[in-house]
Amino acid sequence: MWVFRMLLLLVLVIIVTGFAMLNSAESVKITLGTESLTFTDIPLVLLLFEAFVLGAVVWFLVSIGHEVVLRRIIRKQKREIVDLGGEISGLREISLEDIEDEEELGV
C-alpha cells in the first residue's frame, strides 16, 4: 500500500512541477475586494504556492482540532472502561446466596 501512495505522490509532484514550469512566465492581476487592494504582475507560480501554503496551514489547524477531540473521546472511554471493570469485579464478588437472600426479601 505504501508503494502505491509513494507512486501517487511522485506523479502528483511531477504534474505540479510541470505545471509550474509551463506557467513560470505568466503574471496575474489580483483584486481583493476593492480597487485599492489591487496587485499587478504577480507571478502565477508564486500565487499558486501561497494558496498551497495557506491550504496546508488551514488543514494543519483543522487536524489539530480534530486530534484534540478524538483524544478527549479516547480518555473518556478509557475512564468508562475502568469504571465498568470495577463494576464487573464487584458483581463477581457477589455470591449466589446473597442474590437468593435479596430475592426472598423482595428487594
Please write the tens of the pLDDT for every residue from 62-78.
999 999 999 999 999 99
Grid cell, residue 77, equals 472511554
Q: How many other C-beta atoms are found inside a 10 Å radius of the C-beta of residue 63?
A: 10
Distance of CA 26 to the CA centre of its chain: 35
CB 59 within 8 A of CB 50: no
Residue 30 makes CB contacts below 8 A (sequence gap 6+) with 38, 39, 42, 47
Q: Name the residue ranges covered by the structural domains of the chain.
A: 2-105
Give the chain's mean pLDDT.
Answer: 86
Q: How far apart are CA 34 and CA 17, in angstroms?
A: 33
Residue 107 pLDDT more than 70? Answer: no
Task: Report helix, strand or coil for 34.
Answer: coil
